[in-house]
């Protein structure tokens, strides 16, 4: 069937004997080739992972650093292990948001040789599902508030009503 409907390219001819030989090889009663359908559809792409809170907008960070925007509370995570620090941080941030605070200061410390576990883990904890809807952004604190050993955490507005 295909051989009967295909025409040679311009400038090339196929002899009648070749056409008849090709037509004789085709079984017109054979079923058409089918592509097997996979039993399971391909898995859907997982949603793009949320990489964490954005940085605080520069103007807002400046207002917080100069205390033109009030820092609603401070928490010092020094001396806590990871589990204690995570639990304390979640409770602190949620209670600050419930009070209507718009910014808080989280003091993590720099850690030994600049590789503090709490400092490294705090942004991950702030991006957890429990805090994702509350945290607007984070940025390193100004030198007067602890510099590299502290973070400003900007909180979203509470819904009215």
Residues 2-43 pLDDT 10s: 666 777 677 777 778 887 887 777 777 777 777 777 677 767
With contact defined as beta carbons under 8 Å apart, do 58 and 89 qualify? no
Q: Does a structural domain hold residue 78?
A: yes
Residue 5, domain member (yes or no): no
Least confidently predicted of 5-9, 53-57, 103-107, 145-149: 5-9
C-beta of residue 134 within 8 angstroms of C-beta of residue 113: no
Is this model's pTM higher than 0.95 or not? Answer: no
Strand, helix or coil at 58? helix
Give 28: exposed, middle or buried? Use CB within 10 Å, 0-12, 13-18, 19+.
exposed
**Which residues are bridge partners to 139 per DSSP?**
152
Total domain count for the chain? 1
Q: Look up the domain containing 118 and give its range.
A: 54-155
Q: Is residue 25 part of a domain?
A: no
- DSSP-assigned letter for residue 60: H
Q: Say which CATH number the domain at 75 has.
A: 3.30.1370.110
- DSSP secondary structure, 110-139, as one string: --GGG--HHHHHHHHHHTSHHHHTTEEEEE
């Amino acid at each position: 069937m295909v051989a009967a409907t295909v025409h040679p390219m311009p400038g090339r001819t196929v002899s009648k004997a070749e056409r008849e030989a090709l037509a004789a090889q085709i079984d017109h009663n054979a079923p058409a080739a089918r592509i097997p359908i996979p039993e399971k559809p391909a898995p859907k792409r997982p949603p793009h992972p949320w990489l964490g809170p954005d940085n605080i907008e520069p103007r807002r960070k400046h207002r917080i650093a100069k205390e033109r925007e009030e820092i609603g509370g401070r928490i010092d995570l020094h001396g806590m292990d990871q589990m204690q620090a995570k639990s304390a941080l979640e409770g602190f941030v949620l209670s600050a948001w419930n009070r209507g605070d718009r910014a808080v200061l989280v003091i993590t410390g720099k850690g030994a040789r600049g590789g503090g576990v709490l400092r490294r883990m705090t942004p991950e904890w702030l991006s957890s599902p429990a805090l994702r809807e509350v945290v607007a952004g984070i940025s390193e604190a100004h030198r007067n508030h602890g510099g590299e050993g502290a973070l400003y955490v900007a909180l979203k507005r509470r819904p009215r009503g």
